[in-house]
Chains A and B, each alone.
Chain A
Amino acid sequence: DTGVSQNPRHKITKRGQNVTFRCDPISEHNRLYWYRQTLGQGPEFLTYFQNEAQLEKSRLLSDRFSAERPKGSFSTLEIQRTEQGDSAMYLCASSSKTAEAFFGQGTRLTVV
């Protein structure tokens, strides 16, 4: 399968714990995006990488959220001190210069 891969698919964590998600983009894509989606809403932009450089981070994103893309390949999204409001589907997407983004299956986070 050469699509975007996200792990884990589901994560249940207790409030206050840290969680980390991984995204493996399509290999030839140099652009990588993280989105968050809640039920009944469209995806909400979190951050964007071009190769290993993080070029934009949403103003809505608190400092508990951090993302990395070492070596411009896979990416990780970490949420520290999780809160119940962090419960959502976290989506990763990748694209080439043509801008059509291809999404992974997402990681569903539930904070209890």
Chain B
Amino acid sequence: EDQVTQSPEALRLQEGESSSLNCSYTVSGLRGLFWYRQDPGKGPEFLFTLYSAGEEKEKERLKATLTKKESFLHITAPKPEDSATYLCAVQEGGSNYQLIWGAGTKLIIKP
């Protein structure tokens, strides 16, 4: 069964303390892996798409990496405004549109 698991469920960091969020997936052929950020009461905001193992993408303090079984979202020297829930979604090879979503990691950055 296709599934996406994110860990940890929640992560509290001090401002400036770097860490990584994990997204592990089991799908029959990966078409794309997506990272989104979601603030409370709002819709998800697109961050990155990764298509193949070894691919990396960066945006400000965030860097996403992909292997054949998992993706990491590395956050370097985070600031309080990086606090949000980070969602991972996978598009499997047989689908043109449907995404399989993880439950998210709630990130809290303390000043």
Q: Which residues of A contact B (CB under 8 A)?
A: 4, 6, 31, 33, 40-45, 48, 50, 55-56, 91, 93, 99-106, 108
Q: Which residue of B lies closest to A48 (CB)?
A: B97
Q: Does B43 belong to the interface (CB within 8 Å)?
A: yes
Q: Does B22 belong to the interface (CB within 8 Å)?
A: no
Q: Within the complex, what minimum Cβ distance (angstroms) separates B96 from chain A? A: 8
- Chain B at the A interface: mostly helix, strand, loop or mixed? strand
Q: Which residues of B contact A (CB under 8 A)?
A: 4, 31-32, 34, 36, 41-46, 49, 87, 89, 91, 97-99, 101-104
Q: Which 7 pairs from chain A and chain B are nearest by CB?
A: A42-B101, A103-B43, A106-B43, A103-B44, A48-B97, A105-B43, A104-B43
- Determine the chain B residues whose CB is within 8 A of the CB of A55 once the complex forms: 97
Whether B103 lies near A99 (C-beta < 8 A) is: no
Q: Within the complex, which residue of A6, A43, A45, A48 is in contact with B44, where a contact is CB–CB below 8 Å?
A: A43
Give A42 to B99 CA distance when docked, in angstroms: 10
- Besides A4-B43, A99-B32, A106-B42, 16 more A-B contacts (Cβ < 8 Å) are A33-B97, A42-B87, A42-B102, A43-B44, A43-B89, A45-B98, A56-B98, A99-B91, A100-B46, A100-B49, A101-B46, A101-B99, A103-B36, A103-B43, A103-B45, A108-B41
Give A7 to B97 CA distance when docked, in angstroms: 24
Give A51 to B104 CA distance when docked, in angstroms: 30
